[in-house]
Amino acid sequence: MNATEDRTGDAADRHVPVLLQRCVDLLAPALTEPGAVLVDCTLGMGGHTEGVLEQIPTAHVIGIDRDPEALRLASERLARFGDRFTPVHAVYDEIADVVAEHTHGGPTPGAAQGVLMDLGVSSLQLDETDRGFAYAQDAPLDMRMDPTRGQTAADVLNTYDERELARILREYGEERFAPKIARAIVRRRESAPWERSGDLVDLLRATIPAATRKTGGHPGKRTFQALRIEVNGEIEVLERAVPAAIEVLAVGGRIVVESYHSLEDRIVKRAIQRGTTSSAPPGLPVEPETHKPYLEALTRGAETADEPEIERNPRSASVRLRAARRLRPTPDHLRDSHDQRSRPVQGNPRKHQARKEDRR
């Protein structure tokens, strides 16, 4: 099957959602009223949304994705649900604007009863070899989740200085040989600019010691992950998106987040702990109402996939799932800090128009 044919294939055949039933079970109690709104912040190929719409007939899902091709394929997959599904082209740190625009009905206008985030790279992006996400295939070094805008992985490799390259490889890829790889990348671009992923894989094989390659998996894994995170601003987006997502939740609403990287999970953990911990000064004889927790954790720490799940879906091997329920509105003295933290970068040109034509 050629690349064009593959792009038009059935999304259900190309994507197995991670911990699908657990996500649905965690969200379901918040979605029982007719028109209850779930925001799927990372729609991808629509697997989680399909599970919710099939099992919870009262739910309406707003599906956000920055990738136009993902929106198209997911919309085809979910067309049978009619107006219970609304696709939106946006980045999920814009969730407050999306919810304000698309939740005029439902139990709580202007708020959502559920939020789901399935972080990281999608099956679509890994499958499409010309996107440059997969180190197993030679392709242009692109890695943009929205291929219509922004810098590419090639831009990063060709313009970042050695220190900055080492930093992103170390922080986003947890690559122990980050300085050595960064030095080799800069040296190589002096003779020819970076363009193809295969050339990068060859350099990594030559740079990472052979003994490490035997036990550490594919030599490109960590570097490709780091470049993808940098190109798409994933950490910065997540730092804004999680507090923003909590703020759009109605009382009784639930948030479920699946992370695949320690940096992602740490951001989610901090945001949930902030809401589940009293903000009262220590030593007060009575805890003031305004300082009581406004979230309740629904998972004990981070849940992981069991062996049957991993066998069915190898991508679930690294998942860390956390969930929480809103108990009451965020106190005013904490909401101001949330608003600052969750505000998208000013001047952001990204739009969030509903793709009505994709729902046909």
Q: What would the pLDDT profile of 108-131 be if each residue is shown by its tens digit? A: 888 999 999 999 776 555 556 666
Q: Where are the domains of the chain?
A: 3-123+234-359, 146-231
pLDDT at residue 168 greater than cutoff 70 = yes
pLDDT (tens digit per residue) in 237-291: 999 999 999 999 999 999 999 999 899 999 999 999 999 998 767 767 777 777 7
Q: Is 47 annotated as a binding residue?
A: yes
Alpha carbon separation from 266 to 191, 258, 293 (Å, rounded): 39, 12, 19
Q: Is 46 annotated as a binding residue?
A: yes
Q: Is 253 annotated as a binding residue?
A: no
Q: Is 332 annotated as a binding residue?
A: no
Q: Is 89 annotated as a binding residue?
A: no
pLDDT given for residue 215 in this prediction:
61
- Give the pLDDT mean for 181-200: 97
pLDDT (tens digit per residue) in 72-107: 999 999 999 999 999 999 999 999 999 999 987 778
Q: Is 339 annotated as a binding residue?
A: no
- Give the pLDDT mean for 318-346: 74
Please tell me the CATH superfamily of domain 146-231, with its number.
Answer: Putative methyltransferase TM0872, insert domain (1.10.150.170)
The pTM is what?
0.85
pLDDT given for residue 135 in this prediction:
78
pLDDT band, very low/low/confident/very high, at 338 (cuts 50, 70, 90): low
- Give the pLDDT mean for 175-184: 96
Q: Is 118 annotated as a binding residue?
A: yes
Please tell me the CATH superfamily of domain 3-123+234-359, with its number.
Answer: Vaccinia Virus protein VP39 (3.40.50.150)
**Residue in this structure with the two tokens 């679930």, named with its chain if needed:** 316
Lowest-confidence region among 179-183, 223-227, 343-347: 343-347
Mean pLDDT of the chain: 86
**Are the CB atoms for 60 and 106 separated by under 8 Å?**
yes
